[in-house]
Amino acid sequence: MSERPSQPSDTLHIIPFPHGDATAYFVTAQATDSTLSEVFERVEIAMKERDATIAFQYLFGGRKFYPQAVSAIKKLDWPLTLLHGDACAGGTITGAQFIALSGVKLNPVMDGDRCVGSWYETDSARYCLLGDIRADDLSLSREDQARAVFEKTELLLQQAELDFTDIARTWLYLNHLLEWYDEFNEVRSQFFKERGIFKKMVPASTGIGAGTAAGEEIVCALLAVKPKQNAVQVFAVPSPLQCPALDYKSSFARAVEMDQPGSRLLMISGTASIEPGGKTVYVDDCKKQIELTMAVVHEILVSRDMDWCDTSRAIAYFKDINDAPLLEEYCQEHHLPELPVALSHADVCRRDLLFEIELDAVKVG
């Protein structure tokens, strides 16, 4: 299903996810500071060929590239979330990811004069995809900024007539995460408790040490889904090889699946080298951490009748970017297909974790 050109170095991975009248396209592109404009233009052309509108974008690289990225886009009608990893020196760009939609009308979600996402609907459900959500007052403490982001998220979802409990997936990027991840978890768990999340479904999530264009303490992105009928089901999926993250007071599901007639989307949370009891294993050995992490992800895929070939997008986070070739070696040794994966140089949620990967998969039919 991946649509790939003949030159591997210029690969655009474009994976369609049909759901109702809509088709989402997950696009992963490798890029550098010298090829940024060319890559963005190729993505724009590819989406025009599919009559698709870009709704969301990540850029992995240093803050200094944000103006260059904005100028490379003819008209920025979607949230651009730039991730400057805590561990990143900021001198390079490693790639970009996009989500585009066709077959439906995209309705903008505005944070003042900033477009932070879109909502759309099919006959069976209403969807909302938001990004680059941040606190208005950056003088607030870290914890207060986290609370403000959750409160703002709730207000933004109201523009799509959705509730906080409709969130299926979050991405949470914390500046200097290792200094305050425990405090962040307390804020998140308290807010989830107040909004009744624990009585419904805890969303899948990724929490990574990464600042953004202006160095905010926290930036959030999310996908929310509200079924109109029983034909669409959204539910948490456990990890066969790991305990629930809730067991060690981290409020996210290992994975969440969205099913509708004819297709399924499995969203696997940020996953790392953690054993069933919740402890980090293979400390100081990135190769072994990659092996265990990939085994954990694969078991989640298999539990839902999926495999690596169904991957629609992935992000691999490395504490030391020099370890990135180890993932490619793993994929080659285990005969994995070419994965649509973006690389990020960022801290993971524990000091002894060297690698984390999030991965989505699509099954059609």
Domains in the chain, ordered, with CATH? 8-364 (3.30.1330.40)
pLDDT in tens, 311-364: 999 999 999 999 999 999 999 999 999 999 999 999 999 999 999 999 999 999
Helices (H), 127-277: 142-158, 181-194
Neighbours of 205 (CB within 10 A): 24
* Mean of per-residue pLDDT scores for the chain: 93
Count Cα neighbours of 137 within 13 Å in the Cβ-side half-sphere. 9
pLDDT of residue 6: 29
350: Cβ contacts below 8 Å, ≥ 6 apart = 178, 272, 280
User: What CA–CA distance (Å, rounded) separates 3 from 11?
Assistant: 9
pLDDT of residue 5: 31
pLDDT of residue 87: 87
User: What CA–CA distance (Å, rounded) separates 274 from 205?
Assistant: 16
Return the amino acid letter for 81. Answer: T
User: What CA–CA distance (Å, rounded) separates 16 from 248?
Assistant: 35
pLDDT of residue 10: 60
Return the amino acid letter for 324. Answer: A
pLDDT of residue 159: 98
Helices (H), 72-229: 142-158, 181-194
Which parts of the chain sit beneath pLDDT 70? 1-10
pLDDT in tens, 98-129: 999 999 999 999 999 999 999 999 999 999 99
Quick check: 243 and 278 in contact, CB under 8 A?
Answer: yes
pLDDT of residue 194: 97
